[in-house]
């Protein structure tokens, strides 16, 4: 029986997209999700790839996806929580309630809990902690500091960082990272 992998955050140019491509090459049934499914690109037209809208920050979006998968009789084998967003405002200007919802630490704890809860159902949940990779996560990032911000004198530097202009030239290619994650997933018995 063909295995199914659900990957969040599959917009073209990102890690989720590259992971979806890797699993598709292995013959997996891929559930590719994104907030805006038009950004998934050519992957959406491949055989054995189902595309669904999903905003992981909205409980109703998660419930909708679950209902659609149940209606189609889709059984999940692997969950890859990849969806993310970039924010570059100094922490002193961040909405802490909002920052917690998007933090890597919060997502790691949620994934670890899901791993325990879903393991008896045969679903592997994976949290990949990757370093600097070349993705399009910076596209559309813009920073506007309050006029009284202590960081106003360096706002242009913060803006350059937010747009990805200060990335190191040796960031790993997204395809290399995806292949490495896929290899670990198919060669180990437990998600990490």
Contacts of 114 (CB under 8 A, 6+ apart): 79, 81, 125
The whole-angstrom separation of Cα 17 and Cα 82 is 10
pLDDT of residue 21: 96
Model pLDDT for residues 19-59, shown as the tens digit of each residue: 999 999 999 999 999 999 999 999 999 999 999 999 988 88
> With contact defined as beta carbons under 8 Å apart, do 56 and 81 qualify?
yes
CA quadruple 77, 72, 24, 178: dihedral sign? negative
* Domains in the chain: boundaries: 4-139+171-187
Q: What is the pLDDT along the chain (192 residues), one digit of tens a residue?
A: 899 999 999 999 899 999 999 999 999 999 999 999 999 999 999 999 999 999 988 889 999 999 999 999 999 999 998 877 666 666 666 666 665 545 667 778 888 898 899 899 988 887 777 777 777 776 666 778 889 988 899 888 888 887 777 777 667 888 988 988 888 877 765 444
- According to CATH, the topology of domain 4-139+171-187 is Rossmann fold (3.40.50)
């Amino acid at each position: 029986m063909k295995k199914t992998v659900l990957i969040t955050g599959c917009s073209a140019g990102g890690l989720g997209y590259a992971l979806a491509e890797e699993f598709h090459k292995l013959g997996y049934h891929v559930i590719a999700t994104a907030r805006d499914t038009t950004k998934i690109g050519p992957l959406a037209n491949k055989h054995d790839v189902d595309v669904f809208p999903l905003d992981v920050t909205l409980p109703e979006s998660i419930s909708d996806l679950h209902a659609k998968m149940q209606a189609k009789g889709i059984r999940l084998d692997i969950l890859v929580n990849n969806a993310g967003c970039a924010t570059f405002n100094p922490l002193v200007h961040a909405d802490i309630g909002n920052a917690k919802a998007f933090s890597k630490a919060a997502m790691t704890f949620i994934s670890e809990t899901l791993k325990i809860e879903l393991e008896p159902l045969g679903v592997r949940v994976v949290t990949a902690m990757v370093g600097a990779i070349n993705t399009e996560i910076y596209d559309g990032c813009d920073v506007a500091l309050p006029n009284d911000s202590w960081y106003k004198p360096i706002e242009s530097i913060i803006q350059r960082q937010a747009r990805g202009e200060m990335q190191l030239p040796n960031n790993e290619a997204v395809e290399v990272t995806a292949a490495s994650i896929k290899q670990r997933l198919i060669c180990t018995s437990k998600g990490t």
